[in-house]
A and B are shown apart, each in its own frame.
Chain A
């Protein structure tokens, strides 16, 4: 029986009180609960405080450049369909520099679970405005208040056609574990946005602040996460201030859509020079 400790690597160096501790713990609990071995999991992280998670999580890890977790994870998922591929990053990584990749990963429905540690601040570079910083918030890079409206990750994901969408908060590890576990089990692209407050640079969006705003969809009996209409209405009217499973639907993942795609992992193929294929194609296509 695996426990979260089987997925513990280095001791984290995040600031005391950082929400990312909870994300790490929920991820470890999820993998243990699913009985995954560290050898069968690949965690891909980007740059920022959140990106350090690959050093603290025991599995095959790839720590890539800023914003590029999803395309690297896509390459891994295509290369070996038998692996569990998880991407993790921050709001800057996923909703700023790497936002383009998010929309296309959703569109492809590539079988990846993407956990975003959304703290609304660039913590690793000491507190500048991030894509999810609320308008008007003063930061070192917006001393008179942020002038942009924030990215709304849940609306954005719904608009892109996501097949699994959830939001959790670092103060509730059990719920977060349930959401990440369900995300990993989902065949297709799963986004779990985690409200993960930064105790060092964000004095506004604290746990107490979130507590007064958030409603829990998982406890709402009238809420049906398989209803696209309800999900749309929720993300459009509640300013993304919900936690729980927002939306889940069946959709064929990328690897099932690809014509002729090898059933066994591509990485298991023993390669030999494909001379016959070249000769055949030369004969078929290139005889004038």
Chain B
């Protein structure tokens, strides 16, 4: 695949993020597919930060293994990211402030970034000078770059816009004048990357989730700020008033989910988004949703735990919490989108499931999936449908009156809902054990059994509404993954296939109810099952073993250092497993490779 990777590194507070985004937009405007990856600390000013832009001529779903151009605003960036430069890659440094030589295989390109920016009136524009210089080195379309810069400063007035365009131009001209021979080195690579004229959008997983919620008719959003889910709160606060709805920042995550349950109970689609610490607080309320049969949509973007863990980093360590967390037994649905498009579709679908099955629905995502921005040709907007489940009309409730049974025992377990305000059918909705009328009954064993069975029956069969898996490729090794890890895994498998090492790929799209019927035969057929996931204990592997078996042939590739897999890492770990697949029953039991 023809591709280029660019990385800007410095410290937080000097505009690395916004500058990186301008570069990404410039590449997208030039017709390239773009994938971004940010590394940032929980330090608002002065901590090491970076913004990677990977560009190519087909959709990208993972961070880069090697860099073509590294722009270092400080020496630490050279130390941290210099080793990732490919031989002949450019190391652009702020001359003379950054003296670090960088790796010997890189081409050092000193540019007086701060000096050129100061000459133009403000040293803060050194980022823009860096953009111009590095874009010139990589041969990025200057018109696209200028357009992205103008867009970035559109709200700041034409004077600011012109100054920044001048800074970009100064960087570009400096590279043309002083680095022409270096620039020529990459010509071969550049000519492989063919821009596409197709229209595309550039957005994050959080953006896609928020859009999915809006498409599905979410009108109440309640949450507490938490990395990496806060973007959704800010998005909703901006957009929900436009459709008459409300985004409420609550005092904690307990209140957030309670507001969602209250709104859902009263017949309004509501959602919250959080991360592990918030999900822990919500777990108590999750039980109320289960017992009282209330709809709720909870987006849970995982980050490394336990406790505060690594707030700005990546992990998939809350899978079993989402599936099993909480006291007592109750139905729940846990969807696991693996791409931006799936984030949109699954969030929209979650609202239908929550109302149809009258239970909490968790959209399990992870830091990498929700924070990285990517180009997409579109979102599956036309596929969004609204299904509000079994709801009674006012005429029906008036006719039923006191005969209404909120928790009527039905074959499906689903009891038609009446919401407050509907005539005749006032009733109790309770977290205590209750009978089919909603009357508290904490004594009768037969009622208890009937009501537990009724609740669990609801999600016993999701009737094909939820796509449990996505499978592709052939081979006697089954590689299983989920969430954002699917991107690097599939890219690694493509590379391995080029060298004749083929395997079958299985994405788990729904963690609960576990898609046993779909996964079971896949595991049974495979000689070897390799589960690739971002945690230390193999939670997805444990779920597979407990739900469909596969003892003796399930292995794992696990990474839990806070960083998402790169395709090269997965490729290196998978290669020996594909190269020498063991006969059935001979796999090293429970073995896993940690990255």
A residues whose Cβ falls under 8 Å from a Cβ of B: 10, 38-40, 42, 44, 54-55, 58-65, 68, 70-80, 82-83, 100-101, 103-104, 258-262, 265-267, 269, 271-275, 277-279, 281-282, 285-288
Contact = CB atoms under 8 A, between A and B. Distances in A.
Contacts of A58: 426
B31 to A, nearest CB: 10
Most chain B CB inside 10 Å of its own CB: which residue of A64, A74, A75, A286 = A75
B203 A286 contact: yes
Interface in B193-211: 199-203, 207, 211
Q: Shortest 3 CB-CB distances between A and B: which pairs?
A: A75-B262, A260-B241, A262-B244
Interface in B204-256: 207, 211, 214-217, 219-220, 222, 239-246, 248, 250-252, 254-256
A278 B215 contact: yes
B379 interface: yes
A267 B211 contact: no
16 contacts: A39-B423, A54-B430, A60-B429, A61-B428, A61-B430, A62-B429, A62-B430, A64-B288, A65-B431, A71-B250, A71-B255, A72-B265, A74-B258, A261-B241, A262-B244, A286-B203
Contacts of A73: 262
Contact of B386 (A63, A100, A271): A271
Chain B interface residue number, banded: 35 or more
A261 B263 CA distance: 14
A266 B245 contact: yes
Nearest to A276: B381
B149 interface: no
A259 B241 contact: yes
B262 A55 contact: no
B217 A274 contact: yes
Given A63-B440, A104-B251, A275 B266 contact: no
B207 to A, nearest CB: 7
Given A39-B423, A54-B428, A267-B419, A278 B379 contact: yes
A65 B24 CA distance: 47
B261 interface: yes
B261 A75 contact: yes
A265 B266 CA distance: 10
B292 to A, nearest CB: 7
Nearest to B34: A288
Nearest to B351: A271
B155 interface: no
Contacts of A59: 426
Given A65-B287, A74-B262, A281-B214, A275 B421 contact: no
Given A58-B426, A71-B254, A82-B421, A288 B29 contact: yes
B262 A79 contact: yes
Contacts of B348: 273
B260 interface: yes
Contact of B25 (A70, A285, A288): A288
Given A68-B285, A83-B420, A273-B215, A266 B220 contact: yes
Nearest to A82: B421
A10 B440 CA distance: 11
A273 B244 contact: no
A78 B246 contact: yes
Nearest to B431: A65
Contacts of B416: none
Contact of A68 (B242, B246, B254, B382): B254
Contacts of B25: 288
Given A65-B431, A278-B379, A75 B426 contact: no
B267 interface: yes
A80 B260 contact: no
Most chain B CB inside 10 Å of its own CB: which residue of A39, A71, A104, A275 = A71
A259 B248 CA distance: 12
Contacts of A279: 381
Given A65-B284, A65-B287, A288-B28, A274 B215 contact: yes
B263 A78 contact: yes
B259 A74 contact: yes
B251 A63 contact: no
Interface string B407-432: 00000000000011111111111111
A61 B251 CA distance: 24
Given A55-B439, A78-B246, A104-B250, A271 B388 contact: yes
Given A262-B244, A277-B243, A281-B211, A39 B428 contact: no
A73 B262 CA distance: 6
B264 interface: yes
Contact of A39 (B269, B375, B422): B422
Given A44-B262, A79-B220, 17 more contacts: A62-B265, A62-B429, A64-B288, A75-B265, A79-B263, A79-B265, A80-B267, A80-B421, A82-B421, A101-B258, A265-B421, A269-B219, A273-B348, A273-B386, A274-B243, A275-B382, A279-B381
Contacts of B260: 75
A269 B262 contact: no
B244 A76 contact: no
B268 interface: yes
Contacts of A70: 255
A75 B222 contact: yes
Contacts of A76: 262-263, 265-266, 420
A71 B246 contact: no
Contacts of B266: 42, 75-76, 79-80, 83, 267
A65 B286 CA distance: 10
A181 B283 CA distance: 36
Contacts of B216: 273-274
B385 interface: yes
B384 interface: yes
B73 interface: no
Contact of B215 (A79, A261, A275): A275
B220 A261 contact: no
Contacts of A277: 214-215, 242-243
B270 interface: yes
A102 to B, nearest CB: 10
A266 B429 contact: no
B300 interface: no
A286 B21 CA distance: 12
Contacts of B211: 278, 281-282
